[in-house]
Structure 1
Amino acid sequence: MSGQAGPSTAERWQALGVLLLGAAVIGLSPILVRLADAGPAAAGFWRLTFALPLLYAMTRQTSAGPGRPSRYGLAAGLMFTLDLGFWHYGISYTSVTKATVLTNLTPVVVTAFAWIFLKERPRALFLAAVALAVVGAWTMAAAKGAGRPGPNEPLGDALSLTTALWYALYMLAIGEGRKRETTGRLMFWSSAVGAPLLLVAALAFGERLLPGSPGGWAACAALGVMHVAGQGSIAWAMGRLPTSTASVVVVVQPVVAALLGWLLFHEILGPLQALGAAVALAGVVLAQWASRTKAVSPRSPAAP
């Protein structure tokens, strides 16, 4: 593996475009969770359940099927279960904007892990870009009137902030797994692991399991399609980009979520939030610029 060249410039830009698309699609997630008309963990269960048939079909197109789960698929499934559980409860207790922004402080954790354990030492400019993106995201969350107040904002904020850790570990597992296996197989097993765990959590917490309206069912089905399109795109791109770079790019999610929260739920998007969004996006652009001249760690990504 180490003797092969990394992706070309054209492949890198293609991966970046797919990553941005996936991050924008995932920005729909908190909106659909609000519309799902089911419990927080139950919404996560339906998201993965509706996604599984599509992911199975994907594995049949790119390989002989899902095969046996790898340790990376199992680890990604466990981390994503914790990610969805904490995040969906965070969304139910605080605003869409704050829940999404706090969750996407992930780049700090990913950069530290990649530096310490994966030997992906970042440049000083890249660290500055991470800081800029995080400051922008934090400004969006901390601004007065950042979204419609939730029933228990301190709890919701704490759950959303903890989600950043689980999402970071999920991205690291996906990044390592993509060096060895296809997107479809990795996504299938991470979802197959997560669905029953979220079902158990929903039953344990006494949640409403079945959506209470046709619109709720539609939102749950849309969550499944969004999962395949959004997380699938992110996983595919992570086979061609450094994990730390990918983690910064997905900071566009809170910008999308904030705009949708403003349009659909009339959550206030004030001047400070707009400034925070601009700063966060500037950090994303700077991170990509800072990493484009640095040689990518050689890898031989699995086929899509």
Structure 2
Amino acid sequence: MQPTEAPRWQAVAMLVFGACVIGFSGVLVRLTGTGPAAAGFWRLTCALPLLAIMTRRMSGPLGRPTPIALLAGLTFALDLGFWHYGIKYTSVGASTVLSNLTPVVVTAFAWVFLKQRPRALFLLAMAVAVGGAWMMGAGRGGGTPVLNAPLGNFFSLTTAFWYALYFLTISEGRKTQAASRLMFWSGVAGAPLLLVAALLLREQILPTTLAGLAACLGLGLVHTAGQGSIAWAMGRLPTSLASVVVLVQPVVATYAGFLLFGEALGPLQTAGAAVALGGVVLAQWAARPRPAPSA
């Protein structure tokens, strides 16, 4: 399908769906029982067979990797590596919130280099969504203690930079490539990098329990369904809008961490979730296509 053949609401719905699915990846990383980089390796590796089947059925042979796919693999490997170490040292909710503070970087880059000039109302919506995400990360209401919150928060903030670069490369790659093919080759490029990092850092590579193995397989499914949906939608929506809409992800991750690990969920975090979602809705409304001028 060409971008003009898919209704806008369908692309937004797929983007929200993908963000909600990805929101559970932080929980699965905790459950794998492997090292942080190793969990990223299993996420990409377990997704490759599914992506290969999807690509062959929907758009023919796998072909060869393009430079933009390899660059996407590099940026996503860095994104997963830093984010998973953030999850190790801080809470799932805080790590996911901080790592998703990418709209500012993405919007600025798209404005300057891609000539996607945002409306003033969209900038306000972005500020509201980011502010809500910050409230979720700052609110602490007690719960399971973390290993090293400052270090984990630093890793998570660094992830935001790599996630922004990944967003931009995927957006550029979707101009010429199908989402499944782009995801497949970026996974082929990123998985070995994460495995090498895990070996150098002397991590636990293999899951030691059936639950850990199930979590690794679950990461592959989450990556295929979640990140694949996001990549599909990014071929049909402005990059800046996509970067704001995926702030639904930390809302899901925060509540999943609360339900499964007893992580902090105080009044400020609850209010922050509502503010972040309100900013997402406002951003979607502000980014709607302008009506064509009447004759």
With normalisation by structure 1, the TM-score equals 0.93
Asked if 1:215 is matched to 2:211, the reply is yes
- Paired residue total: 291
The partner residue of 1:90 within 80, 86, 91 is 86
Shift of 1:146: 7.0
Aligned pairs for 1:82-231 (under 5 A) are: 82-145=78-141, 148-231=144-227
Shift of 1:7: 2.9
Contact 1:95 1:147 in 2 (8 A): no
**Equivalents in 2 of 1:54, 1:249: separation in Å?**
26
Query: Equivalent residue of 1:164, what SS?
Result: helix
Aligned pairs for 1:1-304 (under 5 A) are: 7=4, 11-145=7-141, 148-294=144-290
Contact 1:114 1:120 in 2 (8 A): yes
**Unaligned runs of at least 5 residues, structure 2:** none
**Equivalents in 1 of 2:162, 2:249: separation in Å?**
16
1:247–1:146 distance in 2 versus 1, CA, 3 Å = farther
1:78 aligned partner, one-letter code: L
**Equivalents in 1 of 2:119, 2:247: separation in Å?**
19
- CA RMSD across the alignment: 1.5
Shift of 1:56: 0.6
**Equivalents in 2 of 1:163, 1:146: separation in Å?**
25
**Equivalents in 1 of 2:173, 2:210: separation in Å?**
37
Contact 1:171 1:247 in 2 (8 A): yes
Query: Equivalent residue of 1:7, what SS?
Result: helix
1:177–1:162 distance in 2 versus 1, CA, 3 Å = same
Contact 1:97 1:147 in 2 (8 A): no
Contact 1:76 1:190 in 2 (8 A): yes
| Moved beyond 4 Å, runs of 4+ | none
With normalisation by structure 2, the TM-score equals 0.96
2:181 aligned partner, one-letter code: R
1:133 aligned partner, one-letter code: A
Shift of 1:147: 5.8
**Equivalents in 2 of 1:17, 1:146: separation in Å?**
34
Query: Equivalent residue of 2:287, what SS?
Result: helix
Shift of 1:153: 0.7
Measured against aligned partners, the alpha-carbon deviations of 1:121-178 in whole angstroms (never above 9, x if no partner) come to 1111000011000000001101133763321110100000110110111011111111
**Equivalents in 1 of 2:142, 2:163: separation in Å?**
23
Shift of 1:293: 3.1
